[in-house]
Every structure is written in C-alpha cells, then in structure tokens.
Chains A and B, each alone.
Chain A
C-alpha cells in the first residue's frame, strides 16, 4: 500500500482541477493533483472544441451583468445566483489570465474575437482555431501546473472514496491502476473536480471517465446533490456516418459560423415549427439547446427521422472555399471520414452532453462535509435548468480558482486528521475483489446506458421513470458489494465494476429527482406534465439515507440581493 500526504488533495485534472491546483499552490499550500487518466487528458476539458463565454467586451461593449442575465434566463428561474455571478464575473478574470498565459484566443483586427453563440444577447464567446479550444486550454494549464512549485501531479490513480473521519474529510482512498496497489492520500482539505455524468447515457459526448464519479464520491462522504434531474442534451450531436478524430458535438461552430439547415427524414425543414421567443435578425440558428433537442426528438417520434434515427444537417449551400476558410484542416479530417459537406448532409441527433446538477456547495465551494470542496462541472446550481453554451469551460476555470483558494485557506487553519481506521472500509472493499468468469461489468454498464437513454432522456413520463428506477435498483443489487476483477495489472474488470457502482447510485439520483418534478422546465421535459409550473421554482436536494439516495429537501429559489 502507498500512503502520501499533502495539504490540499485535488481529484480530477481537468480545467477545474488544474486551475484549483495553481491557485491553492499560489496561496502557499502543498498540492497533490491526481487523475484516473493522464493529467489534463481524461475529461471534458481536453475534448471541448467550441467556445468559451466571458463578457470581455472586446467584440462590442459588454459587462458581466449582461452575461449573468443571459445565464439566469437560460436557467429558467433555478440558478443559484451567487454561483452564476461568480461564473460570469470571475470568468472574465480567468479568460484574461488564460490569454496572458498564451492560450491563443482567436483574434481579429487587433482584439480577441468573440462569436455570437445561441442564448447570448451579443457576441461573447472566445475560441481557439480550428476547433482547438479544449486542447489549447488543457495544454496551457498543464504547462502552468507543471511550472507551479508545490504541486505534485499523479496520473493513473483511481479514487474510490473520499475518506471521512468523524464527519470531516481527511483525504481519499483509491488504487494505482498500473500496479493495482491500494493508495491512501491524507489531506487537510480535499477538492472533487471530477467533471460530469453524461457517460450514463447511450448516446453521449463523454469520455470514459465521465460516469459521475464525483457525485457518488460526494454522496458517500455525506455531502448533498442538487438539481440532478437536469441533464443537457446537445441537439445536433454527430450520428452518422461514423466520424472519428473529431468530437461529436463539432457541428455547433459550423452552424453559427455558416448557418446550416436541419431537415427531417422527408427532407423538410422543421425548426420554425418549434421556435418561440426571440429570433435573430439573420434568421440563423434560433433555437436554444432544449428547444432544438425537442424538435428533433419529436420529428423522430413522428416517424420523420433520418435513417440512423436523427435529423439531417446540411451545409450544401456553403461554397467549398468558404468551408475551408472557416475550418481549414477540419475539412481534411472530414474528408478522411468520407464526408464531403458540399455533396450531401450528415445525420445528427441529441446526445447527452453536460450536467447542470451536481454537488451542492456555497459560494466558497465547500460542501456540507467540512474540508470537502467541489469545483467545475461536478458543482450543481450555477446553470439552473439549462446551460448557456460556453459556460462550461468558464465555470470550470472560475470555480476551480475559487475552490483552490478556499481549500488552501481551510488547509492553513486545520490539521491533518487522517486515521487508518477512516480508510478501512474502502480498503476492505478493494481487498474483497474476486475474479469472475461469469459476470461482465462492461456489459452491465452498457445495459444501464441503454436504460437511461430510453427511459430517462430529455422527454420523461412517470411510467418510464418508475420502470427505470426499478431496473436501476435491481442492477444495484446485481452489482453487490464485492468487486469483480480480472486480477491483472490495469484491471479492466475492477475499473468497470467501480464505475458501475458509482453509475447506479448517480443514475438513481437523476431518476428520483426527475420523477418528483411534475412540470417541464429547461432540460427536464415531462410529457405527462407539459409546461412550467411556478410552484416548482425550487431546487431539489438529494443525499444518502441508509445507503440509498433519497430526496431530502426542496429549496425555494432566493435571488441575490445585490444584483436582483
């Protein structure tokens, strides 16, 4: 067994975790940054290809309050306004700091270029060409973390549980994936920065490591989750033909740079039939994400889907030179996939893309468990019932910085409270792993993903949600409490089993919140309860009760005094 100790332990090295590491070290803490994948490569941050929202006012006058107003509007009454305000205000500082660190935001006429993404009232979204935003952000932060004294980075460490002593977070317990050895990490404060949960769904934009580990870690540590019913589906995820080397959500920048028309399987346009609210003067791309998702789902349901079960997206109106001017090498990658946009449409469909809900925190990003902090997509509340495009990376960076500062401040005033006893249950769990020739945890994950897609997608009914809950509970029983293992180094079965253990718990938290919310709002649409019900302008909180996730509170929404 390996035992290490530090001031601040950060779990997850995406944008949020790396920013937290930089800030915590700057505040004088020794930092240990661990990831189950390689540093800066395992999560959503490195895959993001599009834009990052911040009211820089470079393209046209802007202020963070405008961005805040758009964020609240998209969130449909459910945003935790204190968190949204941090996102919008401190996001500006972080995006400027990233510019100082030479991330390479695209420029035009001597200023940072800002694109007009849907849901924003003006051009606000920065990016790195060509579709290189996430890789550039990750690379910049990786370099910065490497050069920050006081940060030790370790990849291939899979965190299994937060370790809690007398109700206080005292570190984490996991194992080293290459050797299989157990790892215990003692820390004065712990930050969960493990990203989202979209791997729960069959069609998703997730990496392997996005099965919602952080939510399960927080639950088992005694923290609360909020807004778990709000999973954002990205309307025009790539569906067919098989496209590799590009992220499945890459059609979005194509659409707002070049237009692009959606057709149903009968080659009819249909977006206008579903559009409500303000439309843009250029007529392009009027639907926010939840409405576009709805439109495509409804067309497929009515038997008007494309052959693979989505909609067609066409750029045939765009001349080849124009395509190349805007997307350069991306056009070659498309060609290597056999896709020529001048010749025909591709097929797209809604895919699970982001999670608005997450761990409940206060404005210092601390949870109900002393010493336990959370940042990035793992935090719930800032985006309410729906997220504006571009808010994901901004939130990762802004929340990461804040959580790093808070966790460092906590570490300055608290002692290590690690005891071997606190880690015993997790070490026992790992020691119970047994080789199996019959059960296949990878197959059980696929089964859960299919269930979530068919029963807990963006359009929900009581009957489907109840059926899902029964099946999830049965699956949880089948998972049991003795890990399956291959017994080999880099134990694929053990990893899948531990993922499944987390995924069933997190799936349950999504389903119970969706079942209780008998209205439709943002990303949560109940076909049996259409329309928004103002009585539901509240946030649902869940926590573990007797080892099972239950809803524990409904919080009426309060507005921020200073900005409301």
Chain B
C-alpha cells in the first residue's frame, strides 16, 4: 500500500511550502514510521521530533495530522493522502518541529 504524505515545511519566519512524499507501508504502520521512512529513503533533512517510537511515553511526536492534533506514533497510515503540519499554538522551529519544552527547561527561557 502507498500513502502520500503532504508535509507543511518551513523554517521559522519563512513561508511554508508543501512537500509530497509517497511512502509504501503495511497496515498497522504509523505516521512516525512513514516519516522515518522518508528520512531514510527520500529526504534526510525532514525535521520532526520523536524519541520513544513505540511506547507513546515521550509525548514528543505531537503534530497536526489531517487537521487534528495527534501523536505521529499512534496515528496509523492509510491509503491515499495524509496532511502533516506543525502544532499551531507553539513557536515553529523547523518543518514539523515546534518549541514544546516547558519554559523553565529551555536554553533561552524568555522565548515563548
């Protein structure tokens, strides 16, 4: 099966452009599996956050998937098109990465 991931890509302060990636998958695989496939096979520069991969313990992989805030590691891929965008209410860092650390755990604590 193939899914087309349409990713809103941008660095902070630049307009976002849509990148399309066709990703082969088997049923049950997740959006995070798909993104990691893109990094390994298509575009190693695509930025997204994750740590734990399977456990849904780190809570770092939150993004907007088809219009809803969700974890990339628990959202399944499906045939057709899936739209991925960074969290809207956090400061954009790059591509799907936003500043999610609590303010008192940041290097620059005053940035919001």
Contacts and interface: CB of A to CB of B under 8 A. Distances in A.
A383 to B, nearest CB: 23
A37 interface: yes
Interface string A442-474: 110110000000000000000000000000000
A363 B41 CA distance: 46
Interface of B is mostly: loop
Interface in B32-76: 33, 36, 39-41, 44-60, 73-74
B88 to A, nearest CB: 18
Interface residues of B, number: 43
Contact of B101 (A155, A243, A492): A155
A486 B45 contact: yes
Contacts, number: 139
Interface string A123-161: 000000000001100000000001000000111110000
B39 A41 contact: no
B105 A155 contact: yes
A242 B26 CA distance: 9
B23 interface: no
Nearest to A154: B107
A38 B54 CA distance: 17
Interface of A is mostly: loop
A154 B44 contact: no
Nearest to A205: B54
A345 interface: no
A289 interface: no
B19 interface: no
9 contacts: A2-B107, A41-B57, A155-B101, A178-B107, A207-B51, A241-B28, A440-B40, A491-B45, A491-B47
Given A38-B51, A179-B108, 6 more contacts: A41-B59, A155-B105, A238-B54, A241-B28, A486-B47, A489-B12
Interface of A: 2, 37-39, 41-43, 46-47, 49, 134-135, 146, 153-157, 176, 178-179, 183, 205-209, 238, 241-248, 337-338, 440-443, 445-446, 484, 486, 488-493, 496
Please name the 4 residue pairs, one residue from A and one from B, whose CB atoms are nearest each other, closest first: A242-B28, A486-B45, A247-B55, A41-B58
